[in-house]
Every structure is written in C-alpha cells, then in structure tokens.
Amino acid sequence: MGLRAGRANPAMLEPIMVDAYGSKMPLNQVGNVSAPESRLLTVSVWDASMAPAVEKAIRESDLGLNPMAEGGLIRVPIPDLSEERRKDMVKVAARYAEACKVAMRNIRRDGIEIARKAEKKG
C-alpha cells in the first residue's frame, strides 16, 4: 500500500492486476485510468467484456474502493479516509521514513569511507 493525498490519482490503481484472457494483466493494459474530478477515478475499458473483471479486481484490492460499472466505463469514487485508514497511513509513512534514514546512513558511511581512503592515499 502506498500513501495518497486527499485527491484521486490514477497511479493509485497501477498495482491492481486483472484476470484478463486467462492471465493476470496490469489494469493499465486493459483500460485507460483518468481522474476527471478530485474525488473520482474513471477506468475506460477497451474491451467492454472485461468490465466485470476490472470491477472485481478493483473491489478485491486492499484499497477499500467500491467501483460502479456503466457499460465500458467504471467509476471509482474515492472515499474520505477513515480513522483506521489514517492510522494505517501513519504506519506506512513511518516505514518510508525509516527506509530513508537507513539509505542516508549507508550513503554517509560510504562517503566517509571514500574520504578516509583518499586521505590515506594523499
């Protein structure tokens, strides 16, 4: 799960895989995702017969979304964050922050090591 701001972003649906033509395919390979409004995503499915599979994949994702199909167009309203989802987002942000701190420590350690070797050489 990634972090999201208060508005809809088509990238939110990128990790969703759809059962299409007997195999799993990324959502962006079976349709076009756009954000016409700040709280709404739309998925225009290229093959209308794939709409139920796309709707099912979005509904079963861990994003907590409830899509509504209208022919070849699927509307995905983005709900307000609940207290539970906010707490989950805090945990995700903490994991991101910790990963960044570790990366910075590693970069700093490598830089110090390079500087020490250069000092001994010259």
**Tens digit of pLDDT for each residue in 54-102?**
999 988 887 778 899 887 799 999 887 778 878 888 888 899 999 999 9
Task: Provide the whole-model pTM.
Answer: 0.64
Whether 104 is covered by a domain: the verdict is yes
Residues 45 and 85 in one domain: no
3-state class of 122 per DSSP?
Answer: coil
Domain count, the chain: 2
Within-domain flag for 86:
yes
pLDDT at 14 over 80: yes
> Could you tell me if 47 and 98 lie in one domain?
no
- 72 and 99 in a single domain? The answer is no
Give Cα separations from 96 to 15, 92, 100, 101, 119 (angstroms): 18, 6, 6, 9, 35
Q: Considering the domain boundaries, does residue 121 fall inside one?
A: yes
Residue 3 included in any domain: no
Domain residue limits at 71:
10-77
Judgement on whether residues 14 and 73 belong to the same structural domain of the protein: yes
